[in-house]
Structure formats: structure tokens, C-alpha cells
Amino acid sequence: MHFNFNSTEPIYLQVASQIEEAIFTKNYAEKEQIPSTTEISRDFHINPATVLKGINLLVSSDLVEKKRGIGMFVAQGAYEKLVKKRRELFYQDKIVQVVDEAKRLQISEEELLNLIKRGY
Amino acid sequence: MGIEVKNIQKKFNKKKILSDVSLELEPGKIYGLLGRNGAGKSTLLSIIANRIFSDSGDVVLDGESVFERDEALGQIYLMSERNLYPEGAKIEKIFKLTELFYGSFDYEYANELADKFGLDVKQKFGKLSTGYRSIFKLIIALTVPARYVFLDEPILGLDANHRELFYRELLDNYVKTQKTFVISTHLIEEITNILEHVFILCHGEVVIDGNVEDIMKKAYLIAGPQKDVADYCRGLNIIGKESLGSIHGNYIYGDLDDNRILPDTVSVERMDLQKLFVNLTNMEEAKK
């Protein structure tokens, strides 16, 4: 697992989003065990309560499930759920930004569409 | 339950070191005690651990004063910068002395840690380098059966590898034992994420006392053209300023005014604990 933390965003959110990213990129497959709170805490020098708070976000959005006494696992259907969520956020998070920047750069709608085609 | 520090005052040679310090340590948390050199951190920890006396105030453990109570002392361990061990004593001998004092000592764990850090337990304490003296004291601190462990400058002289190993072992120990740790250090960035709660001490007074996450939620950097920044920050708690050419930044500690409209030219960013610390302590210094 590769974690990359910045020092300004709340750490529990970063823990959640990094695990989410690993599920999305299929580094953690469905039904596969993810590292324990203790492991993440030790390896990345984060207070275990903070790690737990982050993981609980994933549990409550049904991406991760806890199995008592065994550990935590990627929930079945987690990948599909993430794709759906990210598609919904795609317009808001990416497209709006791209259009804003394009306007600042005086790139016309047609030019932008061409650029997108080129990048595809 | 826990430790209550009540209105502690301390002077050395008429110089005020601590003025009316009160705080609480709950069981099972990791605390950070931050302060500039001379802020009174070591004095405070020494008073709580009953190594030195306060002029007034009280330290209460589980409802009873710790002063003049020997069994309470066994519950609190202070690892300090000062070297209290005889130079000629071998490490393994000091393990034995610790067992005599605290009633028990987990030799297996101590030796395991010594192995990981590469500390030779047959070595004499006096022969250890600064870094290995710290390592040795850390091993004792992690091993003693005290429920409250105070680490004053625990990473003095430790190289990056040993610091990483220490943070790892500390968290491993914390998860297993649920002890209360208080860590005092100048390397703030390295321990920020480990801490649950932080105290910032400035000129013998506690200026910040709170949950790290809650505190960081209120720490902002507002940046942009000077006039726009000044307008946006009017009336907010500005704790520091900086500028790079025509870009101006105000460090804010406290809530922003949600009713204010943020101009396009102005950005709101977060600051980290170290920046907050530097700005707050500079500001307090300037007040004097």
C-alpha cells in the first residue's frame, strides 16, 4: 500500500480517501482483507483513533465491512459503488474546473471539445 | 479518572516558570506538550511526576493528590533529558534496578526492543552515544508498568531510521497497552498525526488545550492581494502575517465569518500544526 499524506487536510479523511482509491484502482480486490487499524497506525504514524474514524467512514458507506475478530474486508459491490459515485462527481469535480480554466485561457468550446477528443 | 493538574505555579530564583497551569490527562490518550525552549515543559512534567515540587497547586491522580504518595509515583514514569543513571552501570543492570523500583519489568519486551534498535545490553550506560542514551531511555519508558508515560524530548539525537522505528514501536505499545502518553518535542511535523490532543505552553501558561483535529479546523491561511485579504480578515483572530511580493497571507486561528463573501482573488487554505505553533508562540512573544 502506498499512502501519501499532506499536512493540511484532516487525516481521517485522507485515510478514507486513500483506501477508497486503492479499492478503485483494484489494489484491494473485493472480499480481500485490508490492513488493520493497528497496521496503518504503526506504518504511517497516525493515532489509531484517527485511523478508525477514517475506516468507519468507509464502513458506513458500505465499501468496507468488519468481520469480528478477523479483520476488515472490501465489501462486495464496493468497486461498482465507487464507479457510480465517481461518475456522479465527475462533472462537478472535473468538468466544471476544466471549463473554468479553459475560459481563463480563452479556449473556445469548440477548441476544448477538440482537445478532449485529442486526449481520448 | 486520570490526572488533573490544578493551578500549578513554580518560580526558580524569583523567575516565574509556570503561572497557574491547569490541565487534564485522560487515560488512554496520546498527548503532545509543545512549547519553545524555556516555556516550562520539562518543569511541568517534572512536577506532575513528582520529581520536583511546585510552589502551589496540586496534581491529582484518580481523585487523590500524588504528592507524598509513593504508590502514585509508580503509575507515572518520566523519561527526561537528564541522565539519571550511573555512568558505569551496564544496561542490563539498569533493567534490574528498574524492576526493583517498579515491582515488575518485561525483560522479553525490553530485549526485543534493544535488538530492534541495535542496543547492546552488555554496554555501560556511560559509553553510549547521545542517540543511544535516548534509545535506552525510550526502551525503559516503553517497558515500565506505569500507566502514564511522559516522554520529554524522546528523539534527541535519534537518526531518521531510529525515529521511524520509535514512532512505530510507540504506536504498537499504545494499541496493546492503552497507556497514556505525553510527548514533548520540537519536531512537531513528525508527531502531529500521532497526537490526539495537544497543549501549547508559552511563558509558563497554557495557550492551547484541545483535540488536534478540532484545533486544526480553526487554523487558516488567507492569501491574496493585501487589500482584499485585509478586508476579508477584518475582525478575525489574526495570529501572523507573511508576504511574498504582492501576495499577502494572514494566518487566522478561530472561526471564519461565513457571511462574508470570499473574493475570487483570495484563497483559503489550511495551516499545519507546526505553522500554527510558530505563529502563536511568535505572537505571544511579541506581546511581552
Please judge whether B196 and A50 are an interchain contact, meaning their C-beta atoms are less than 8 angstroms apart.
yes
CB proximity A44 to B under 8 Å: yes
pLDDT tens, position by position, for chain B (288 residues)? 899 999 999 999 989 999 999 999 999 999 999 999 989 999 999 999 998 999 999 999 998 898 877 778 889 999 987 778 888 999 999 999 999 988 899 999 999 999 999 999 999 999 999 999 999 999 999 999 999 999 999 998 999 999 999 999 999 999 999 999 999 999 999 999 999 999 999 999 999 999 999 999 999 999 999 999 999 999 999 999 999 888 999 999 999 988 888 898 999 999 999 999 999 999 988 877
| Residue range B198-243, pLDDT digits in tens | 999 999 999 999 999 999 999 999 999 999 999 999 999 999 999 9
Chain B residues touching A48 at Cβ < 8 A: 171, 174-175
CB proximity B217 to A under 8 Å: yes
- pLDDT score recorded for residue A66: 93
- The C-alpha cell of B66 is what? 500524588
- Rounded to an integer, what distance in angstroms lies between the CA atom of residue B48 and that of residue B176? 25
Which of B240-243's residues contact partners 24+ apart within 8 Å by CB, and which partners? B240/B278, B240/B279, B240/B282, B240/B283
Look at the block and give the residue holding cell 518520566: B78
How many C-beta neighbours within 10 Å does residue A120 have?
Answer: 5
Inter-residue contact A46 to A11 (CB < 8 Å): yes
Q: Is the ipTM of this complex over 0.90?
A: no
Amino acid (one-letter) located at B227: K
CB proximity B271 to A under 8 Å: yes
Q: How far is CA A91 from CA A88, A103, A106, A108, in A?
A: 7, 16, 20, 19
Of A7, A12, A45, the CB nearest to B194: A45
- pLDDT score recorded for residue A69: 87
Chain B residues touching A8 at Cβ < 8 A: 269-272
Chain A residues touching B270 at Cβ < 8 A: 8-9
Of B167, B171, B272, the CB nearest to A48: B171
- Rounded to an integer, what distance in angstroms lies between the CA atom of residue B13 and that of residue B10? 10
- Rounded to an integer, what distance in angstroms lies between the CA atom of residue B247 and that of residue B240? 14
- The C-alpha cell of A47 is what? 493515532
Which of A47, A101, A103, A104 is most worth mutating to test chain B (most B CB atoms within 10 A of its CB)? A47
pTM for this predicted structure: 0.90
Question: A14 to chain B: nearest residue by CA?
Answer: B193
Of B157, B162, B79, nearest in space to B116 by CA: B162
- Rounded to an integer, what distance in angstroms lies between the CA atom of residue A65 and that of residue B14? 60
Amino acid (one-letter) located at B212: V
